[in-house]
Chains A and B, each alone.
Chain A
């Protein structure tokens, strides 16, 4: 802006400095407004490259106009307009910028495994609750089969209880199905489990207590089943039935539970920040973990829906179980690590 000495009486009108200022800058604002309008309607990335380059420049120029206008202009409409235009441009410039595709690839390569590693103790704690539940139920049911009815709901058991014959129990482990039915089964399992997983995460908001319960109860059911099958000498077959998908599924459940614990910790022990700020900081990491876990549950649903129903050979089942364990372990241990320069 050329601040000429122009006194109160200029050639045009009263010669307000703020009017002069507006005349000189208005073109820039209008150009920015047009770009922002376009971006708001069709997205920032729909802007042609030559405009995309102008956007931050125009934005900064308009921000500086706003500062000047606040200092020299009493035209409220002008200041309001600039403020609103700056805010709109700010949303364009600082809104989410990377395309979804890049975000996703970076997600599985780096962010997901890194977040899991960063919160490994939360994950370990969540796993501990699951294992604890499994052990408790296993020991109790192994000593007295009546405990089984305490841990496993009648609806859920569907006849798989201590009253069933060994043959009936074995049949469940080798139930097959037509592939087209299995597709529906797999997608049902995935959506169902994903919802449980997201629930485990969200429950962390209630100080984490429900997360412990959920993990522990899941462990109880697993342990009760295992004890029941073991008591009939079907232990190996049972684990061969559970583990191929169970490794992935249980890992995902543990991750969701761990993410819930991250939230709970942020709420209960906020540390250096305020509770709300800390929740916001930790919450995002926890969300990364949950999203990754949902993807894992998708894989688990496929294994459970197809593989388990189609492949009945114990060796193959164990092979898949152990290789999936090794794969996930390697993924979470090494993926996304920064290489020493």
Chain B
């Protein structure tokens, strides 16, 4: 499995879902964060940094009376530390998250599935210098670094900034340069809620309300579509129940007289029981087109 030596395994070319293998050898599904989520988190972090520095300057100015060299020395140093180590500090302390990442529901992880090492965090954030600050400074305040920059310098720096800004969009794991150097990847922080078991609610008679023939039509795919349907909570669910129930009744030739939702729940439980039994015997009926 390439996840052990390389980056995440792709589950599907088109989506951002990946698979990691935990050190216990169990594969887990992880979703790579979208560019929009990351940009949102990053902008929020920038804003927080800006506010922190502003607060710092105001406090230092207020305490030291605005015209004190020690005060400005301290402020300069502290502003540098905030700007350089904001991300590093939070990502080490909060296991790969910063306030912005928390808000946007993303987090940093080791791309090979191992522990997130502090070196990796340090490196991925040092690279921001190259990706963001250098081109920005060169673009807007070139005299600080290169006093007599020729005319072609500005477009060049714009291209530089743009290349690094867009780099994540041109690779499959949405890696920016810092992620590449550090071997990290930004993923969506997983969150799923455990809902009630639909199978537990079905009454015992559901099990023999359907014949084996009736249950052998559908496969796992249809079962899970039915699960999604039954878990719906929106206003249009009743209509959808009606439509699906009509179709199932027709397909399996159902004669009974049971209320629509009851019927669907019973059918779900019975179908799941049958498919799970089959699965234990090693037969996975993928969908209604598969045999078995």
Which of B24, B120, B202 touches A14 (beta carbons < 8 Å)? Answer: B202
Q: B119 → chain A, closest Cβ, in Å?
A: 4
Which of A15, A77, A84, A188 touches B191 (beta carbons < 8 Å)? Answer: A84
Instruction: Give bound CA distance, A85 to B189, whole Å.
Output: 10
Of the listed stretches B43-51, B123-131, B249-257, name the one at the interface; the rest are far from the partner chain: B123-131
B119:A285 contact, CB within 8 angstroms: yes
| CB of B1 closer than 8 Å to a CB of A | no
| CB of B23 closer than 8 Å to a CB of A | yes
Q: What's the dominant secondary structure at chain A's contact region?
A: helix
Q: How many residues of B contact A (CB 8 A)?
A: 91
| CB of B33 closer than 8 Å to a CB of A | no
Q: Which residue of A lies closest to B203 (CB)?
A: A13
Instruction: Give bound CA distance, A287 to B127, whole Å.
Output: 9
Which residues of chain A are near B131, meaning CB under 8 Å? Answer: 202
Of the listed stretches B54-62, B106-114, B151-159, B240-248, name the one at the interface; the rest are far from the partner chain: B106-114
| CB of B37 closer than 8 Å to a CB of A | no
| CB of A19 closer than 8 Å to a CB of B | yes
Which residues of chain A are near B193, meaning CB under 8 Å? Answer: 81
Q: Which residue of A lies closest to B195 (CB)?
A: A77
A91:B96 contact, CB within 8 angstroms: yes
| CB of B217 closer than 8 Å to a CB of A | no
Instruction: Give bound CA distance, A19 to B272, whole Å.
Output: 11
| CB of B147 closer than 8 Å to a CB of A | yes
A60:B24 contact, CB within 8 angstroms: yes
Instruction: Give bound CA distance, A190 to B109, whole Å.
Output: 32
Which of A81, A91, A286 touches B123 (beta carbons < 8 Å)? Answer: A286
Of the listed stretches A65-73, A137-145, A328-336, name the one at the interface; the rest are far from the partner chain: A65-73
Which residues of chain A are near B273, meaning CB under 8 Å? Answer: 8, 14-16
Q: A96-B117, A180-B69 are in contact. Are A8 and B192 (CB under 8 A)?
A: no
Which of A274, A290, A291 touches B6 (beta carbons < 8 Å)? Answer: A274
A86:B194 contact, CB within 8 angstroms: no
A-B pairs, 5 with minimum CB distance:
A280-B183, A95-B95, A287-B123, A202-B130, A283-B181
**Contacts A100-B118, A186-B73, A286-B123 supplied; 18 other A-B pairs, CB < 8 Å:** A22-B200, A43-B94, A43-B95, A73-B276, A74-B220, A75-B197, A81-B195, A83-B192, A85-B190, A85-B192, A94-B116, A100-B89, A100-B93, A183-B69, A283-B123, A287-B122, A290-B123, A291-B122
